[in-house]
Structure 1
């Protein structure tokens, strides 16, 4: 149910609102909840395949 995006964030799939592709190397994950620090959640190229597999499972 959870995915570790980086050292700062662990996401629950039910809180993902939108996935925005910035380039072929990075995507931004928008949530349907607000976070205190409000910085963008960016997923690196090396984690994109793992993230997609997690979403599909």
Structure 2
């Protein structure tokens, strides 16, 4: 999900999971979003099957 959608989810009381290939970028986005609710960051290359499968695991 994009940053703006994540912000709307948080503002509505939900939890947002943001992902990206760069740990630094994910950490920055999650930290900024955390001021609006529970935001979790996960660095992964979702074009690579094993990490994308791990993202979907509970």
Assess same fold via TM > 0.5.
no
The structure richer in helix per residue is: 2
Relative contact order: is structure 1 or structure 2 higher (C-alpha 8 Å, sep ≥ 6)? 2
The structure richer in strand per residue is: 1
Q: TM-score, length-normalised on structure 1?
A: 0.29
